[in-house]
Each structure stands twice: as C-alpha cells, then as structure tokens.
Structure 1
Amino acid sequence: MKNTNEFSLCNAMKNNMSRSWQKTLAVLVAMVVFTISPVITVMAAARQVNITVDGETSSSMITMACESEDDARAILAQNGYEVSDGDLVSFGEDGAAVSIQVRSALSTTVSADGKEVRVTAHYGDTVAGALSDAGVSLTRFDTVTPGKTNILTGNETIAVKRYHDVTVLFDGTQKTVVAPDGTVADALKAAGVTLGEEDIATPAPDAVLVNGMQVTVQRVSYQEVTTTEAVAYETVKKEDPNLTKGVTKVETEGREGVRTIVTREKWVDGVCVDTEELSNEVTQEPAAEVVRVGTKPRVAGQAVVGGNGTLIDQNGNPVSYSKVITGKCSAYTGGGYCSTGVPAAFGRVAVNPNVIPYGTKLYICSPDGRIVYGYAVAADTGGACMRGTIVCDLYYDTLSECAQIGVRNMNIYILG
C-alpha cells in the first residue's frame, strides 16, 4: 500500500507540470505566427515583370507599382539595366504581369546633298526613318546605301547618291540623260557631248546639277577673213597749150591701190555674231593719173572731143551721152516725108531703126570735132543704112551742103 499523503503530492506535481507546458506552447505558437505573417503579406503583393531590351526579354519579380516612365526606369535600374535619357522606354500590362520595353538610342549620320546630318534613331528603326528625320527626300532616280528597308545598327553613315533627269541640247538635237549628283560637266559626259575649247555651255560646266535641268551647248568657232578694197588714185592735171580749151587727154593712166583688211569672225551655231578687225593696211599703193588739159582757144563752130570721153558742143556746152557709134555717114536732100511721117528737115536723120531706134536723140560730129552736124533725131530710114554700108544718112537743106559732107567717118553720140 502506499502512503496516502505521498500519493496526493505526486498528483499535485503532475498537474502543475501539465499547465506549464501548455503556456510555453502557446507562447511559441504566437511567436511563429508573428514572424511568418509579414512574409505571407509580402509574397501576396509581388508581381512578375517582363523586360524587353532591344528585342531580348528577361523576367523577374517586383513589388513596386509601375504607373509612369519614371517607375519603369526605376524597375529597370533595380534589375541592373542602364538606360540613357535618349532611350525610348514604354510600359504596360501584360495580363497579370508588367511589361517594360526599351529601345536603345542609336546615333546615325545621313550624308546627302553635300551635307552630313546627325540624327538620333532607336533600335528597330529603318534607314527610311532616319532619312525622314533628317528631312531628306528621294526621287525615283536616287540611290541610298544601306537600302531604305535596312534596320539601323548605330554609328553607320547613310549615303544618298542623287541622280538627275537632265536634257542636253546640242548640235541641233537633244538628249535626256540620268546623271549622278555632280556638275553640268558630268551631265555632258553622260550625254556623250564634248565641249570644244571655245564652246559655250549654259549653265556653265561647273554649275551643280538639279533635277529637270536643261543644258544648252553652243558651238563656237573662229575664222579669219581677208578682203580687199580699192584705194582711189589721185588725178594730176597739167595744162597743155597744144590742146583746145575744154579738151583733156590722159597722159598716164591712173591705177587704183589695194587695201587689205583681215578680220576675225566669231561664229556661234553657224551664225556670225561678232567681227574683230585684226589688220587694215594698204598693200598696193595707187598710181596717180596724169591728165593734160587744153588751154588753146577753141575755134568757133567746132566741137571739142576730149581724149577722156568728154564732149563739148559747138556752143561750148558739155554733152552728156550714153554711147558713141563711129562709122561712115553720107548726106541727102530733096524734101518729102520721113519714114516716121514727119517732113524731112535738117536735124532729122535716116538710120537703121534696128540699130538706132526711131526717136533717139543724137549729137553728130567728126571724130576731131571740126565738122559738126549737131543735134539730131532718128526719124527716117536709109537704104544704105539698112544694107550696113553706112551708119547714118544726114539730111541737109541744099545739095552743096551734102557735097561738103560727102561720105566720111563721123561720131554718132546717143544722148541720155
């Protein structure tokens, strides 16, 4: 048997130990709950973020909100991405996740029209976009390297080569060519046109080409032309007492000199546009004419026949004539009517009308002027004239006057 007091003490000790363990367990549970609760809260607020940089995507978890570009840049920085101010950053929702895209800035040079322009592009942009940003437009003839659809890689140079539609007018024809960016000289070469040393191109060969330009080529040539002009001679008059006054006689024939002129002519497309005198000089001197002038008093009633073709009538008046016929003349009388129907009279002479037409005014005298018939008109027809035996038949009022003339050589001057 056991002692009753000992048994009671043992029961009391067991009860006290049971209550102490329960308290300790409660404290431990409370501590665990306090520690785990924030972790569960944090895990509940985290979201996935998908970051795409220049086409490459990676994912991570974030707890912060992404509501602005600044938030997106902060998330990128937390994930180790260095983003410059020039980079393009965009963001948005991708289902339950956050999506952030980055297109890196690229520096590109556009070379066109003799200038280089730096433009800022971004990953994925094409050459065409860079050209647009640089304000460069292309015609259908232009070429660009790299091609317009190429994706930019950065730090490249985009080269634009211009080609121009140019019309060249030359040698009476025209030719249209597509010439690369350059000068008029390049377009002429493309058209197969060679400029001579003096030829003119408009615009000038060093002018810069533009699309739709028209170039005109003028062919220029020069030639020297030699012409001559007569140089008049002087007339020296010498008095001669042996010649009748009013009579002149050429002692020495005059001779004209020669002036030689050399000119340089400028011809443009077959038309002479300018003449320059290169020289002008007398290459042969003229020789003076020496004329003897009569001073001997004139015999009344005689004509003066000058050796130089001058004629002074019996009254001292100069006679103007166009032609002189020298030949045999005879005389006739008897009245009646002339072939032209007018009465026969002194001053109306018979002729061959085929040689001297009716109505022709005449002056008739001997070659030396001593025998003068005087002024007359062709009014009759002579048989001997028609046969060619004589040139003229002179009518006189009397037979004795006819006998004085007989048949002799006379000068028949055609007046006018």
Structure 2
Amino acid sequence: MKKILNKEQLKAHKQKLLFLGIAVLILSITAVGYMSTINKVFIEDGEETLEVGTRKETVKEVLKEAEVDYIEEDRIEPGLNTSVVDEMTIEVIRAQNIKIVDEDDTQTLLTPVSTVEEALIEAEILIRPDDKVTPAMDVALEEGMEIEITRAVPCEIHVDGEVIELMTTKDTVEEVLNKADVELEEKDKINHDLEDAIEEDLTIEIIRVEKEVITETEEIDFKTLRKNDENLDKGKTRVDKEGEKGLKEYEIQITYEDGEEADRKVLSEEVTKEPVNRVVKIGTKAPKPEPAPVVSRGGSEATRSLRVEATAYTSQDPGVGNITATGERLRHGIIAVDPRVIPLGTKLYVPGYGYGIAADTGGAIKGNKIDLAYESRSEALRFGRQMMTIRIYD
C-alpha cells in the first residue's frame, strides 16, 4: 500500500535531499583538492632510483622525508632550495675520495665531480699542454682513484746541424728521440745510452757517421842499379836502361762524422805494376897512359898544367838544362870553364875523370875553377869538390 505524503511532508523531503547532495559535492571537491597537492618525484642515488609522492615544497624537504642522507661534499641537483614540481627528478651525486700525486706533492680530495679533468680544476692544479696525466683527463672518477701528474721537462737534441728544443714527459732517451722523429742509424754516435733516464735540461748530441770505400793509386819509385863495365873507361858512366815507376792500388775506408773526414783505414793494397829498375854502367877500364907531348915537324901540340878547384854537376841540378853554353848536349866529358882562363873548345885531361872538352860556362865558375859534367846526380855527389892539377892541350 502506498504512503501518500502531504504537501508539507513533500517539501521537507526535498530539502533533505538537497542538503545531502551539497554535502556529497563538498566532500568530492575536498577529496580532489587533497589529491591534487601530491607531487610525483624521482630520486636518483647512484644506480638506485626511488619514486615518491610528496606534498613537500623543496628538494631538501623531499630528501628528508624520503630519508635520503647526504654530506656537505655530495652534490644535489637541482639545489636543495629548489621548489618541487610534479614529475621532478632529484639526482644525488656522491662525493668520492681520490688522491692526486703531482710529482713530490700529494693531496687527497673528496669531490662529487665526474672526470679527472674536473677534479684537477677543483683542486686548482694547472696542467700544461706537454704535461702527462694518468688516467687521461676524460676518464670518469672512481672511489679511491689515484691521479698521477708527470711534469714535462725541457731538453735539447743536437742533430744534423740543428738544435731541437722540446718539452717532454718521456722516461728515456730513446722515447724522446722517437717523439722528435729523430732516427738513429746503426753507425751513428750518441752521447747517452738509449736507456738513460731523462733529466731536466738534458742535451742529447748525435753525430752522423758515414763510411765509404775508395781506391787510391800510388807510384812506386824505381831503384838505380850500378854495374861495372870493363869496356867503359874508368870514371865514365852510361845509362844502360831507363827506370820506370810502378803502381800500387790501395782500398781505403774513409769515416765521416757529420760530413767531415774523421778517419781513414787501409783495407787492402796491391801492386798493379812492378817498377823497372834503372841500370847504370860504371866504367872500370883503365885509362891509357898519358901520351907525352909530341912536337911534329909540320906543327906542334903543346900542353901545360894548371892547378884548379874541380866540382861536378848534372842536368838534374836546379837551373841546369840539357844544352851547354856552346850548344852541345850535356854529357860526360863536357867541362865548364872560365873562358878567360881556359878558352872554349880546349881539350883537357882531368885525373880520375878522363879527357874532356871545355864546352860550357857557369856563373860560379870564375878563375881557376872547372865543373865536370856527369850523367847521374849520385856520381856528381860522389865526386864532390877536389883540388887537382889538370893538363890543357892548347
């Protein structure tokens, strides 16, 4: 059976429903507003990522709420006072302990930076272009990493007439030469061992060594052989055979240092032509007895004696040619005289020399002096200078 409401009851019922709808609406709006104040935030801490919902206003508050601890040296990105927004990512970069060894200076550093280069910048360590950093500048930092700095030192290389100046962190002489593109040949000289350590202001000197083998020819003097000849008057000589010089070849090794000859060594020698000895015949035939002066009826050949100083000369003497003052060929038997004492063309007899003709003159032959011509220099030297009495056939 249906219940029939009167007008007053119906009005009251409608008011009750209206109040109930308003209450539901207010509750819904409040719930939506509450939910809209929660921000989603991602916290990256090393390899871990934490997702949180928060109503906190700053990064610092979010980390505290999420119980993420950090120290002063850690780096928080964005900064701690940054306002929180929905879908924000907060990165916690943990500081790492590293050691920097700069030759004799060592320091430790607690830093959140990422690379070796950034750590050196933070430590205010200046790196020059030629310095060496190990590990390399772009290597990522790791906990407990040791960074070693090797400072470049100046050195010089003297080679090929040039001076190469460079800064280097190389350890040995060989490594420095390789860096400078200086090649060593097997015979080159260097003032240091290749394994020697590099020091500041070290000078490396390289001498280029080259060797060559040449052939040189040398003349071999001939000997003069003297043989007695009983068919040749005593005191006379005659060249029986002219001498010829021989030849000897040498194989010589020449060593050059920086283009200048420094040494030469004979490797071998060989006689390619034997010398031919000169043969001189020496007269041993006794001279004929000196004829007594003869006076013929039709004429007379008188002789006279003269005390003179006698010397000897040859065509090999300086300033002496092969032709005499009278135009004759210089030979044994030609005698140089002073024409004022002995007329040219006069026949003479000289003891130990034999007969001769006054057919030459000389600047030093003045007065009672004569100069006897010989075929060889040695014969003239043996005669020397003598005082004697000669016979003149007028």
Q: Name the TM-score, length of structure 1 as normaliser.
A: 0.44
Q: Name the structure with the higher helix share.
A: 1
Q: Name the TM-score, length of structure 2 as normaliser.
A: 0.46
Larger Rg: 1
